[in-house]
Chains A and B, each alone.
Chain A
């Protein structure tokens, strides 16, 4: 896989009046990866991608997209960046095939509209008006519009919000196929399962700043949230447990010992206890997931009032 950055964002700042929407965001996105931007509502996710797509001018900082400036070279950028905007509708009476063909005519090297509709599973709705489509079908049309220009970079904002689970899964496999075709994807979402399933790397944004930037697994592991509950064959003193790698907190209740921490907590606990001859029973282990990390990282962030810690 190529390591050349497709998108580089450095010290991006964007204010709306007194409201600081994006406060010093830096990140780089590799060519061909699915890059997730996650964060609570109002964190600055949409503003960040709107700046990357050239829809908004940053107040300061620099953005380079495939060697171009999104604002200065906006005309060139539009040719190879496909954008799916949050909450953007089409004229109610426009027909699916009509609008895909129309958009195809805007680009110099478009995909074949009919093939695209087929691959998105909406060919049978080609003659339907936009207003008569279901939420999932509308989203697929929206994705089709972002892809029909055969983009190198696709920016998808809140793609599956409001969709039923089945439609979400269909959209997910669609994005995976885009990646197979070599398209770089920026995915804005507030669904952790979506980010975990699809994204190669993630930026977690809170209060306009990047609080974590890594693979979903690494973010989940680093932020903790792993928890193991067990019953030891004989009492174990707290100091023995505390020196085991990854252990943060120990709690006892009746026969049960509950340990929380980071990484492969269950594995290291079992090994360490076996080494001192303690057997364990009634083990219940839960690995930290992205959602735990999300809640932990955004809560820490909130308590340190606004200013982000760059990761």
Chain B
């Protein structure tokens, strides 16, 4: 009897969650902001750097890496950034129009909506990793020196950190109208700090330190070291861990369903 009930609940909540994932995925396909920002745009950007690299063979500064190798981690992180800033666009709207509140009157807790959204975004992020790594290695000849475990940990922390930042925006931004410009500013800042325009290896302090210890710069550093240098960036990983704690705390503390 006591063992039966939780099983019944979990079975039913699995059915609920499967239905929810199905509907949310369809919605994600109809509003392909995360798909475009997370997959298409980075794939195109990577190709741009690939062609620049083919026109300019040789290594970048003192890094010992080619252009495509230096920028592949940046563009991976960029994909995570685009996916994460698409979170406020949908979730802030869903809260603003009363959808989350509407769902909270049913037996389904609205946190499951959020969970379904995150699962879908996680799948998009995983697809981005696969597409971009294959594109860099097979199309543009980046030579990978991957340390599998550090690489996986670096990607996981980057995704968690940037998604947490997206949830901070969801928590703090009151309306959809404000969400778009704020997400824009945040995206631009993160893009710059990730080293998209200027590589941190080629600038002096204090900018270099700022970039290295920024949310996106730390992610790029960790991914770069584990994918191309066969190493492990403790500083990058540790920085991300700290950001995850901070963002996680703010997001949980200020999150509202209505």
Residues of A whose CB lies within 8 Å of any CB of B are: 53-55, 75, 78-79, 81-83, 85, 87-91, 93-94, 98-99, 101-103, 105-108, 145, 149
Contacts and interface: CB of A to CB of B under 8 A. Distances in A.
A105 B16 contact: yes
Given A99-B23, A102-B19, A55 B101 contact: yes
B102 A88 contact: yes
Contacts of A107: 106-107
A87 B26 contact: no
| Listed residue (A75, A99, A103) with the most chain B CB atoms within 10 angstroms of its CB | A103
B135 interface: no
Contact of A55 (B19, B26, B105): B105
Contacts of A79: 107
A53 B105 contact: yes
- Across chains A and B, which 3 residue pairs bring their CB atoms closest together, nearest first? A88-B98, A89-B97, A105-B19
Contacts of B97: 88-91
Given A102-B20, A105-B15, A93 B102 contact: no
A103 B106 contact: yes
Interface string B20-39: 10010011001100000000
Nearest to B12: A108
Interface in B72-102: 90, 93-94, 97-99, 101-102
Nearest to A76: B107
B26 A98 contact: yes
A78 B107 contact: yes
A91 B97 CA distance: 8
Interface of B: 12, 15-16, 19-20, 23, 26-27, 30-31, 90, 93-94, 97-99, 101-102, 104-108
B232 to A, nearest CB: 42
A251 B7 CA distance: 76
Given A78-B105, A91-B27, 5 more contacts: A54-B105, A85-B98, A88-B97, A88-B98, A107-B107
Given A99-B23, A101-B19, A89 B106 contact: no
A247 B20 CA distance: 63
A90 B99 contact: yes
A99 B27 CA distance: 11
Contacts of B19: 101-102, 105
Contacts of B26: 98
Contacts of A81: 105
B238 to A, nearest CB: 39
B101 A85 contact: yes
Contacts of B94: 91
Nearest to B258: A55
25 contacts: A54-B105, A75-B107, A79-B107, A83-B102, A85-B102, A88-B98, A89-B97, A89-B98, A90-B97, A90-B102, A91-B27, A91-B93, A91-B97, A94-B23, A102-B19, A102-B20, A103-B106, A105-B16, A105-B19, A106-B106, A106-B107, A106-B108, A107-B107, A108-B12, A108-B107
A143 to B, nearest CB: 13
Nearest to A99: B23
B125 to A, nearest CB: 22
B172 to A, nearest CB: 22
Nearest to B20: A102
A102 B97 CA distance: 18
Contacts of A98: 23, 26
Contacts of A75: 107
A57 to B, nearest CB: 13
Contacts of B106: 78, 103, 106-107, 149
A55 to B, nearest CB: 7
A91 B90 CA distance: 9
**Which of B97, B98, B102 gathers the greatest number of chain A CB atoms within 10 Å?**
B102
Given A99-B23, A102-B20, A105-B15, A145 B108 contact: no
Contacts of B20: 102, 105
Pick from B20, B104, B107 the residue with the most CB of A within 10 Å.
Answer: B107
Contacts of B30: 93
Contacts of A102: 19-20, 23
Given A55-B105, A106-B16, A93 B98 contact: no
Contacts of B98: 85, 87-89
